[in-house]
Structure 1
Amino acid sequence: MKNLTAAILIALPVLMVSPTVMAASSDAVAKTVDVQFKKGASSANYYGKLKGSKYDSYTFYAKKNQKLSVKTTGGNVDSYLFNKNLSDSVNVGEYSSELDNQGYYKLPYSGKYELRILQPRSQASKGKTPPYWLELSIL
């Protein structure tokens, strides 16, 4: 019984995975975009349309202490930031508690970041296909 209890306690955190971590499979990527800023610009705009549990991936490089702003309009979508040094994804959506008073997230590391745009699981399971417009800014 002790071995069974120990096995359950070890497996439980694996079973309680967040929706963004579950979307980590490469099969779930709908499109991958290398973010490019025009010369002299600090922001870039993109359009996307999500289907089911697939997500769009936007990758970019930034330096520690730069400020990131992610604005999405259109459908009901979520924005999560990933970096190899982050212990978990960071919600960088409009109402995230991770943002400062001006709506920016201060990047904690230099290097490559990935921004994933996805729809909530409840919406994905209903077959919704929300279009969205993304403005990504780095100051």
Structure 2
Amino acid sequence: MQLEEEIRNIIEKESEDYFLGTADLSVSKNPMIHQYGSLIDEYPRAISFGITLPYINTCNLFKDYSKIYKNTNCKLRAISNQLTNLLENGGYKAFPVPKSKIVDITFTSLHKLAANQANLGRIDDNGLLITPEVGPGVNWGTVLTDACL
């Protein structure tokens, strides 16, 4: 229980409006997760966290989203690094999943798969993770670990 509180505290320092969940990927029946084979064998559990993207004016859509994603990616990277340090200092293995540069809309990232397995949303036909609260308006991060969560 203390580990979960420390994880939540780390995330709350970076963002007030966030999602957080954990999943045991080793027992998942999703075939897309099994493509990560040995990575999941070594780090069977995922800490999935997301930062809600603010609503933006559609006039400057591309420019605004570019800034927003840079900002949230920096926050997600900081959270990933802090969570990794917390887990490793506690004697666990941890692997911060890097953000992908792939822009193909059909690509489903490990971030979305982990968030889906943590029951934070469903993966839509277009590959976006849809949350009940804000739809697809979340930027996701993931740390894989062997810690019991």
Same fold (TM over 0.5): no
**Greater strand fraction, Structure 1 or Structure 2:** 1
**Greater helix fraction, Structure 1 or Structure 2:** 2
Report which of the two structures shows the higher radius of gyration computed on alpha carbons.
1
